[in-house]
Amino acid sequence: MEETRIVIVDDSSFAITLIREIFETNGFKVVGQASSLEEVKEIVKSTKPNLVTMDMTLPGTDGFECTRAVHEIDKNIRVIVVSSMMDEELIKEAQENNVSAYVQKPVDADELITAVKRVMASEELYKFLSEEYFGVFKEALMDGMNRMTKTLVTYTEEYTTNKEYESQGMTIIIGIIGKFSGRMLLDLSIKTAEDIAAAIFKREPKNDDETMAALGEFSNIVSGNACSILNRKNKALGLRVAPPSILHGDNVLIAASCFNTTTAVSSTSYGKLLLNVGFQRSEEKWT
């Protein structure tokens, strides 16, 4: 696991000393401390931590403003709130500000260390998923096309985005849940969808419902197989797919996700096929 480099943010010298001693006793490296918004910005930029502990009450600011400042510098830095204040409203706001855990003062050493280990293990797992998932989904699409239509897929373009786009005519959306949530989209023209359905049925589809049913099942198989492969690589992911949702028609806009996704454009015997997949960092909610 990557070394955990920690910055402690608190306006109490006593709290900083106590938290530092807990970390250093347990083998963690504290690389800096801060007690104001400006100090947070300076120390995070200069020390490049991967974890920050954050008090809620700070002179001239609060923990959430400082957390946003940390993530403006590096969105990958994990933040754990360590505060005497803790209620449902604060927990909700902490989650909305991408806080990874919440520990209440007086600080219990075991509770704090457990929270850090859980958060950093989750970060390592997300890093693994980020490096692996798109290649696996591309292979699953190629394998699905080969098995179900006896044809090949050739990828011609690949890019990362979180912008909305206009569908070619039909978009199949598969939600993914587990340790991390995400989605897979397949986008294609109506003609391409009808031709793929005909290859799967080995006859012309009787109507639009048959075409959508065939493409929905095809997409479900592709995403399910990809998630199964990722789960075998690391069972902690626990990925599962939801039933497909299908959008079709003229001038259909596909909304941007709240997280970056990766798109591969492919050429098939039936026309262009767009594969789009992404996972968001925030895992299941904590309380």
Predicted confidence (pLDDT) per residue in 22-41, tens digit: 999 999 999 999 999 999 99
Identify the bridge partners of residue 275 per DSSP, sorted by sequence position: 186, 264
Are the CB atoms for 103 and 23 separated by under 8 Å?
A: no
Instruction: Mention the CATH class of domain 126-283.
Output: alpha beta
pLDDT of residue 110: 95
User: 3-class SS at 63?
Assistant: helix
Can you tell me the mean pLDDT for 145-157? Answer: 97
Whole-number pLDDT of residue 34 = 97
Q: Is 5-107 in CATH node 1.20.1270.360? A: no
Instruction: In whole angstroms, give the CA distance from residue 55 to residue 63.
Output: 6
pLDDT digits (tens, 9 = 90+) for 155-190: 999 999 777 888 999 999 999 999 899 999 999 999
Among 66, 69, 71, CA closest to 83 = 66
170 SS3 class: strand
Choose the most confident range, by mean pLDDT, from 162-176, 199-213, 251-265: 199-213
Q: pTM to 2 decimals?
A: 0.75
By CB neighbour count within 10 A (0-12 exposed, 13-18 middle, 19+ buried), where does 194 fall?
buried
> What is the predicted pLDDT for the residue at 212?
97
**Residue 207: pLDDT band by 50, 70, 90 thresholds?**
very high
- Of residues 6 and 280, the one with the higher pLDDT is 6
Identify the burial level of 75 via C-beta atoms within 10 angstroms of its C-beta, where 0-12 means exposed, 13-18 middle and 19 or more buried. Answer: exposed
- Mean pLDDT across 128-156: 97
Answer yes or no: is pLDDT of 1 > 60. no
Answer yes or no: is pLDDT of 285 > 70.
no
**Do 126 and 236 contact (CB within 8 A), yes or no?**
no
Q: In this predicted structure, what is the pLDDT of residue 259?
A: 82
What per-residue confidence (pLDDT) applies to 42? Answer: 98
pLDDT digits (tens, 9 = 90+) for 38-62: 999 999 999 999 999 999 999 999 9
- How far apart CA 66 and CA 97 sit, in angstroms, is 10
Tell me what the mean pLDDT of segment 101-114 comes to: 95
Task: Write down the pLDDT at residue 286.
Answer: 55
Q: Which residues pair with 271 in a beta bridge?
A: 268
pLDDT at 287: 53
**Is the pLDDT assigned to residue 282 strictly greater than 80?**
no
Q: Can you tell me which residue has the tokens 């955990």?
A: 4
**Residue 265 region, left (φ>0) first, then alpha (ψ -120 to 50), else beta?**
beta
What is the pLDDT of the chain when averaged over all its residues?
A: 93
Ranges of each domain in the chain: 5-107, 126-283
CA nearest neighbour of 275 among 168, 150, 127: 168
Phi/psi of residue 281, nearest 5 degrees: -65, -40
